[in-house]
C-alpha cells in the first residue's frame, strides 16, 4: 500500500521477526505488514539476517544436539486456520475474530470498541470513531500501537491514514480526532491502561477496560 507513511519502528519489527514481541503487539504488526509493502520487505530482510545468524551458530553445535533440534523441527505442527481478509479487516484481525464479525460495545458519543484479546501482557481491540469525533485527552502508562484500517485520525503528531501506525509511549499526550471523510476504524494494542485527563473518562475506564 504505497500511501502508507507511518511505519513500524525497527526495534519492534526486529522483536516481531525474532518471535519475542508480545501477542497483542504482534497482531498489530502482522496486520500492518499485510497492508504495507515497505515493512513486508523490511521484515523479509530481518528474517533473512536471522537465518544467516542461525546458520553460523549451528556450526558450533555438537552433532547430537544438532540432530535433536532437527528432529524437533520435523515434528508435525497442528493445522492453524487461515482467515481471509474481510472488508477493512486484514487476515490477522480476522484470525483474532475467528472469522466472525466484531462484537461492538458502545463507549459513548458514537465511539465503539471490540476487544479482541486481553491478558497480563496487555490488550488489543478494534475502535470505531465517528467522523470528526475526538477521543478524550489522554497519555499512556506504556506503549500503544494504533493501526488505521478505515478513514483517518489526526493529533498533535500529524495525520494517520489507512495502513499508518502511530507509536505512542509515556511521552505522548494527545487528543486523536477522526477525519471527516469516514468513520475511523483502528486496531489498537496497549500494555497498560490509558491515562485520561477528564473526570468522566476516568470514572468509566474500569467499566470499559481501556
Q: What per-residue confidence (pLDDT) applies to 81?
A: 78
Task: Render pLDDT for 132-141 as a digit per residue (tens, 0 to 9).
Answer: 999 888 787 8
Q: Could you give the CA distance from residue 104 to residue 93 in angstroms, rounded to a whole number?
A: 14
Q: Could you give the CA distance from residue 189 to residue 167 in angstroms, rounded to a whole number?
A: 10
Q: Is 70 exceeded by the pLDDT of residue 179?
A: yes
* Mean pLDDT of the region 92-120: 95
> Angle of helix 10-18 relative to helix 23-33, nearest 10 degrees?
110
Taking the CA atoms of the chain, what radius of gyration do you get in angstroms? Answer: 19
Task: Render pLDDT for 182-202 as a digit per residue (tens, 0 to 9).
Answer: 999 999 999 987 767 666 565
Q: Could you give the CA distance from residue 24 to residue 46 in angstroms, rounded to a whole number?
A: 20
* Mean pLDDT of the region 114-119: 95
Q: What per-residue confidence (pLDDT) applies to 173?
A: 86
* Mean pLDDT of the region 98-105: 96
CA distances from 89 to 92, 173, 178, 194, 202 (A): 8, 28, 18, 24, 30
Domains, the chain, with CATH or none: 10-94 (1.10.10), 99-208 (2.60.120.10)
Task: Render pLDDT for 143-177 as a digit per residue (tens, 0 to 9).
Answer: 999 999 999 999 998 999 999 999 998 888 889 99
Task: Render pLDDT for 43-98 as a digit per residue (tens, 0 to 9).
Answer: 999 888 765 555 555 555 566 665 665 565 555 556 667 899 999 999 999 999 99
Q: What per-residue confidence (pLDDT) applies to 139?
A: 81
Q: Is 60 exceeded by the pLDDT of residue 107?
A: yes
Q: Please give the DSSP secondary-structure letter assigned to residue 182.
A: S
> Counting beta carbons within 10 angstroms of the beta carbon of residue 71, is it exposed (0 to 12), middle (13 to 18) or buried (19 or more)?
exposed
Amino acid at each position: 500500500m504505497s500511501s502508507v507513511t507511518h511505519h513500524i519502528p525497527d526495534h519492534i519489527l526486529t522483536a516481531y521477526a525474532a518471535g519475542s514481541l508480545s501477542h497483542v503487539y504482534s497482531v498489530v504488526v502482522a496486520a500492518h505488514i499485510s497492508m504495507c509493502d515497505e515493512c513486508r520487505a523490511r521484515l523479509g530482510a530481518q528474517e533473512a539476517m536471522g537465518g544467516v545468524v542461525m546458520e553460523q551458530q549451528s556450526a558450533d553445535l555438537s552433532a547430537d544436539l544438532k540432530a535433536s533440534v532437527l528432529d524437533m523441527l520435523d515434528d508435525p505442527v497442528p493445522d492453524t486456520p487461515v482467515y481471509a481478509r474481510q472488508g477493512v479487516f486484514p487476515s490477522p484481525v480476522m484470525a483474532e475474530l475467528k472469522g466472525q464479525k466484531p462484537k461492538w460495545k458502545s463507549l459513548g458519543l458514537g465511539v465503539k470498541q471490540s476487544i479482541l484479546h486481553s491478558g497480563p501482557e496487555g490488550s488489543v481491540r478494534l475502535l470505531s470513531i465517528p467522523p470528526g469525533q475526538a477521543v478524550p485527552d489522554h497519555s499512556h502508562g506504556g506503549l500503544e500501537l494504533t493501526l488505521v484500517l478505515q478513514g483517518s485520525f489526526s493529533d498533535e503528531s500529524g495525520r494517520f491514514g489507512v495502513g499508518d501506525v502511530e507509536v505512542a509511549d509515556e511521552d505522548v499526550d494527545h487528543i486523536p480526532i477522526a477525519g471527516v471523510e469516514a468513520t475511523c476504524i483502528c486496531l489498537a494494542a496497549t500494555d497498560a491502561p490509558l491515562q485520561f485527563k477528564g473526570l468522566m473518562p476516568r470514572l468509566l475506564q474500569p467499566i470499559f477496560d481501556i
